Amino acid sequence: MDADPKPTRRPHGPGPTAKDVARLAGVSQSTVSRILNGDRSHFFSEKTRSRVLRIASDLGYSPNPIARALRGKHLNLIGVIVREISDPFFAALISEITVQARELGFLVVLGHAHSDPDEALEMSSIFDTRHTDGAVILGDLKNDQAAIKKILAGKRAVVAMCRGVSSAEVTTINSDNRAGIEALLGLLLRYGHRRIAFIDGGWLGDIQERKNRFIEVLEENGIQLEPDWVVTEANTAEGGYRAAQRLLACPSRPTAILASDDLMAIGALKGLQDGGVRVPEEVSLAGFDGLELTRFVSPALTTVRQPVEEMSRTALQLLIDQIEGRSTNEHRLICLKPELISRASTGPSPGFLRLQC
């Protein structure tokens, strides 16, 4: 028991309560509550109304959200379990979600899963039923269906984001990873590339989705997949760097590299440059996500921008629908179109211009 040294009369600080307002205004607590909540089913004399309002504001009174939540109202707290906050894409997404949530009157509780399903699970149990009104799962948890199921169990409202299509258990908002890859590969193909490598961050759902679509599109274009040219490393700049090194060590090199995300692409760019390879003259390189940062490496990275604002808006909308009991029970899978951003890191395949002339 962590007994406080001085057990204050008011456990939660010196804030005025509805009772204080009531006493000073010479009305009952219920009147205060009703007036401050703008209860439309009751009417009050303008006199009481304004007095209560004035006294409340003089006192700096605001209802204790905890008591309110206990009473059955929403806490207006959304829990966001994020796979990895240090990933700039997630940072941007969180940023957007936080802002939008606040506009909708919700506070965001952030939980950092560190890519670890156990940690996410633990986090989730803290965010448990009664602590938050709903949860957003950002990124996936090693795609462990069991973990997801446990997390879902007992939650009133959940949406997931950026997990690929694999998760049918829960309403999910993704960017359209397949379309993104198609756009990127389309660009590379138009530049005459046929020897295209893919570097990816491993088990993550959306990453897998991108990789799968990459392989499909190559096939659809009658391009033989070179197994050595699909390399998996951690989805970090460091991972991208190592992936590039591995590609450079191949006996036969690709003329273009598609990275499963921008961070890896940034690392790969460095890896290529350290290996003495000129981008895009010798090797074209593209990423995925649309990080601001991709504009500031040299050469600027071609990428695909995930529609972060729209994704956030949709996710919150759907989540709040659930929280407020307005949603149907079916799990929806929403894919929002990303936008191709073609920049200096991609160019014609080395033999391509010659052929054209």
Partner DNA sequence: GTGAAAGCGCTAACAA
Partner DNA sequence: TTGTTAGCGCTTTCAC
Distance from C-alpha of 112 to C-alpha of 138, rounded to nearest angstrom: 10
Question: Per rule CB under 7 A, is residue 11 in the interface with DNA?
Answer: yes
Question: Per rule CB under 8 A, is residue 4 in the interface with a copy of itself?
Answer: yes
2 vs 222, which CB is nearer to a copy of itself?
A: 2
Question: Per rule CB under 8 A, is residue 278 in the interface with a copy of itself?
Answer: no
Question: Per rule CB under 8 A, is residue 290 in the interface with a copy of itself?
Answer: no
65 vs 202, which CB is nearer to a copy of itself?
A: 65
Question: Per rule CB under 7 A, is residue 63 in the interface with DNA?
Answer: yes
Q: Exposed, middle or buried by CB within 10 Å (0-12, 13-18, 19+), for 1?
A: exposed
Q: How many binding residues for DNA (CB under 7 A)?
A: 37
What, of a copy of itself, DNA, none, does residue 5 touch, CB below 5 to 8 Å by kind? a copy of itself
Question: Per rule CB under 8 A, is residue 98 in the interface with a copy of itself?
Answer: yes
Question: Per rule CB under 8 A, is residue 227 in the interface with a copy of itself?
Answer: no
Q: Which of 5, 6, 10, 227 binds DNA (CB under 7 A)?
A: 10
Q: In 162-194, which positions are buried (b, 16+ CB within 10 angstroms) versus exposed (e)?
A: bbbbbbeebbbbbbbbbbbbbbbbebbbebbbb
Site string for a copy of itself, 106-145 (x = CB under 8 A): -xxxxxx-x--------x-xxxxxxx--------------
21 vs 185, which CB is nearer to DNA?
A: 21
Q: In 34-59, which positions are buried (b, 16+ CB within 10 angstroms) versus exposed (e)?
A: bbbeeeeeeeeeeeeeebbeebbeee
Q: Where are the beta strands (DSSP E) in 83-177?
A: 107-112, 134-138, 158-161, 172-175
Question: Per rule CB under 7 A, is residue 50 in the interface with DNA?
Answer: no
Question: Per rule CB under 8 A, is residue 293 in the interface with a copy of itself?
Answer: yes
The answer to whether 120 and 82 have CB atoms below 8 angstroms apart is no
CA-based nearest residue to 212, from 225, 222, 228, 195 = 225
Residue numbers at the binding site for DNA (CB under 7 A): 1, 3, 7, 10-12, 17-19, 26-34, 36-37, 39, 42-45, 47-49, 61, 63-64, 67-68, 70-73
